[in-house]
Structure 1
Amino acid sequence: MNYLPDTIDPQDVVTTIGLISDTHMPQRWPRLPTAVSQIFADVQMIFHAGDVGELWVLDELSRIAPVVAVHGNDETEDATRELPYQQLVTVAGQRLLIWHSHYANRVDEMHARRGGDLREGLLRNIARAKSAGARLIHFGHWHLPLVFEHDGIVAVNAGAIASGNPYQQQTIQTVALLFVLRDGRCHITHVNLAEPERPYTPQTDIEAGFAGNLAVYGRSILAPDLHFLRKADLSEIYRTDRGAFLSVWLPLAHRVWAGEKPHVELAELLTVVKTADIKEGTRQKIITVLKSESELSN
């Protein structure tokens, strides 16, 4: 499959690099989609921009080509421990920077999320690349495919494989190909995993902010009778026992992500909680929270 435009001679390509991010495997996606192997078939390297999940994801990618990866903010303990915060790679005389783009300090990260301004975040990426003398920066975290250029530096987000949280679905899964050219320029092609035979044009609107773009690439998997979970921000359930709740929730969510059903409903969630292998005290607390929040939302 040819992902280069007609204006670029394939002979002018020095290196092709596969760009991927936010796989979150296996918590939010069970395995590497076969389309990734097809799209990356001719790459010489793969850059993973974080939120990998379990480290076997990188092992699988390395069957295609050598992998350089960084950790994200929503990782397994192993990935956070073994992978760096950022990584500088030099290819054909060009410095390329990889990072997830989250703030290392969680307080700073949560403060940055309040604004929802894409341009501000993109300029932060450009500044990060500039400080490293990099021509291009590949980042993740946003789950939004895009290319942004400023001051001669290119910021690219490959998009995502899995959703940004357990209560959403990534409706358009994308990766990207980075073509490094002999003259020092770079060309980026995004590819939608649902249509791997052709390039994909990102629909991200930088001026629309996060809120205006998330609906393009994701959707809630909560049925109407569970929408109160977003209002409560899950805080009460998480304080009860986040691990126990996710062990109940994720099997239901995976059925939605696999396309077996459109939503997770309150009735089925309560049914599973009542029979789940969790501590009895935790079970009763979760049931109480679900019922009380549901009543308050009606």
Structure 2
Amino acid sequence: MDGRSTIDWAARTRRFTGWFTAATSSLRISSAKKPSSRSSASSGVSWNGRHAWKRSAEGKPMRTMTVGLIADTHVPQRLERLPPQVAEVFRGVSLILHAGDLNRWPVLDELARLAPVVAVKGNADLGLRLPWREIVEINGVRIGLVHGHGGWPVYLRNKIREALISFEPLRYLRYARFAFSDPVHVIVSGHTHRPHLVCVNGIWLVNPGPVAPDYYIQRGPAVGLLHVRPGDLRYEWIDLSTGRVRDWTLPMDSAFRFLEGG
């Protein structure tokens, strides 16, 4: 096996985010493997949403930060390379979140030329050393990142069910939702190759859709942009083949009340 195919991207993405945190002081990242902890020794970066939120309340407003959302690139399994429109849309973003199924490490290198990258492992990323899930905090908004296939035993069981009965994308929304014990405001996932935006119990579930073509459904490549200010979210979904853009403002009141138990 090519040694580069097992590159430790968990460490590399943390180095990217460590640099980004030092530069902005408004982003925090932690591993989601220990839900009870409010810090991540492995990443070397602590995170505390209440502290970040308090800074904003003390009259130090934080600027809007834009996060690029991408999933299911499948390079080179289904695509030779990323479409050039990805770089055009992501130009100037503060951070890029990849929700898995990248297939090979050069995809992250290409994205890292645009902005710091945080990525998680998908079911097609067996040779890549990536975390299964991550939590990123930007301007007091906690964003969970997970592929959403539910882990290997669940994934294989569902593949059999889908072959015999039908494909149910809502099932994978549940897997993404319950991947996090720590409180989050937004969960970004992939896997289904279907874009979605839905709020469940005050948590926004976002899937930007695939960049790579789907074997079963003819759907244009797509990515997302999440514009984050304290207590304020705006989401753009971009169809890369047509240039079509859809835009939503995501109310945060219910999510913040849910996190604080109110």
Fold shared per TM-score above 0.5: yes
Residues 122 and 148 in structure 1, CA contact (< 8 A), matched pair in contact too = no
Counterpart selection for 1:30 from 80, 90, 111? 80
Richer in helix (by share): 1
| Partner in structure 2 of residue 291 of structure 1 | none
Residues 47 and 69 in structure 1, CA contact (< 8 A), matched pair in contact too = yes
Any residues of structure 2 matched to 1:140-151 within 5 Å, and which?
A: 140-151=190-201
Q: Distance in 1 between matches of 2:240 and 2:188?
A: 19
Corresponding residue SS for 1:88: strand
Residues 24 and 75 in structure 1, CA contact (< 8 A), matched pair in contact too = no
Structure 1 unaligned regions, length at least 5: 1-10, 203-298
Corresponding residue SS for 1:109: helix
Q: Name whichever of 112-121 and 92-101 sits farther off.
A: 112-121
Give 1:180 deviation, angstroms. Answer: 0.9
| Partner in structure 2 of residue 177 of structure 1 | 225
Residues 162 and 169 in structure 1, CA contact (< 8 A), matched pair in contact too = no
Q: Distance in 2 between matches of 1:144 and 1:117?
A: 11
Residue 122 of structure 1 aligns to which amino acid in structure 2? Answer: L
Q: Distance in 1 between matches of 2:152 and 2:158?
A: 11
Question: Per-residue CA shift, 1:177-203, capped at 9, x if unaligned?
Answer: 011123x2322111001133x41479x
Residues 150 and 176 in structure 2, CA contact (< 8 A), matched pair in contact too = no
Corresponding residue SS for 1:187: strand
Counterpart selection for 1:42 from 69, 80, 92? 92
- Provide the TM-score with structure 2 as the length reference: 0.64
CA RMSD of aligned residues (A): 2.3
| Partner in structure 2 of residue 269 of structure 1 | none
Counterpart selection for 1:110 from 117, 142, 156? 156
The number of residues matched between the two structures is: 183
Counterpart selection for 1:71 from 97, 108, 121? 121
Counterpart selection for 1:161 from 190, 211, 222? 211
Q: Name whichever of 54-63 and 67-76 sits farther off.
A: 67-76
Give 1:76 deviation, angstroms. Answer: 5.0
Residues 179 and 186 in structure 1, CA contact (< 8 A), matched pair in contact too = yes
Residue 37 of structure 1 aligns to which amino acid in structure 2? Answer: A
Corresponding residue SS for 2:245: coil
Question: Per-residue CA shift, 1:86-141, capped at 9, x if unaligned?
Answer: 111111122111010112233x2133353633334323323334x22111000010
Structure 2 unaligned regions, length at least 5: 1-60, 249-262
| Partner in structure 2 of residue 227 of structure 1 | none
Counterpart selection for 1:187 from 212, 227, 234? 234
Q: Distance in 1 between matches of 2:216 and 2:189?
A: 21
Corresponding residue SS for 1:22: coil
Name the CA shift for 1:13/1:72 in 2 (closer, same or farther; >3 Å): same
Counterpart selection for 2:175 from 78, 101, 124? 124
Corresponding residue SS for 2:107: helix
Give 1:12 deviation, angstroms. Answer: 8.3
* Greater Rg over alpha carbons, structure: 1
Q: Which has the higher contact order (CA 8 A, sep 6+)?
A: 2
Residue 85 of structure 1 aligns to which amino acid in structure 2? Answer: W
User: Does residue 139 of structure 2 align to residue 88 of structure 1?
Assistant: no
Residue 182 of structure 2 aligns to which amino acid in structure 1? Answer: A
Residues 213 and 220 in structure 2, CA contact (< 8 A), matched pair in contact too = no
Q: Distance in 2 between matches of 1:27 and 1:126?
A: 28
Richer in strand (by share): 2
Give 1:52 deviation, angstroms. Answer: 0.6
Residue 127 of structure 1 aligns to which amino acid in structure 2? Answer: F
Residues 184 and 203 in structure 2, CA contact (< 8 A), matched pair in contact too = yes
Name the CA shift for 1:111/1:103 in 2 (closer, same or farther; >3 Å): same
Residues 74 and 212 in structure 2, CA contact (< 8 A), matched pair in contact too = yes
Give 1:145 deviation, angstroms. Answer: 0.8
Q: Distance in 2 between matches of 1:179 and 1:132?
A: 22
Corresponding residue SS for 1:84: coil
